[in-house]
Amino acid sequence: MSYDNRFLALRLEGPLQSWGFDSQYNRRNTGLMPTKSAIAGICCAALGLPRGSGKEQDFLTSFRSVRMTAIAIPRQGAKKELPVRRLQDYHTVQNTKTADGKNKDCHITHRQYLTDASFGVLLEGDAVFLGEIATALADPKWGIWLGRKTCIPSAPVLAGLKENWEDALRFLIGEKPLESFTRQEEVETFIEGRDSLPDTAVSFAIERRLFSPRRVRTLQGIERL
Show the CA angle centred on residue 124, arms to residues 69 and 65, nearest 5°.
95
pTM score above 0.95: no
**C-alpha dist (Å) from residue 66 to 16, 105, 123, 213, 216:** 26, 44, 6, 14, 13
Largest CA distance in the chain: 59
Along the 225 residues of the chain, how does pLDDT read in single tens digits? 446 999 999 999 999 999 987 666 676 788 899 999 999 999 999 999 999 999 999 999 999 999 999 999 998 876 778 888 888 777 777 767 666 777 777 777 778 899 999 999 999 999 999 999 999 999 999 999 999 888 999 999 999 999 999 999 999 999 999 999 999 999 988 888 888 999 999 999 988 889 999 999 999 987 654
Beta bridge partners of 70: 121, 184
- In angstroms, the CA 40 to CA 37 distance is 5
Q: What is the pLDDT of residue 61?
A: 97
- Alpha-carbon distance of 187 to 53, in angstroms, equals 29
pLDDT of residue 20: 84
Q: For residue 223, what pLDDT is reported?
A: 62
Note the pLDDT of residue 168: 97
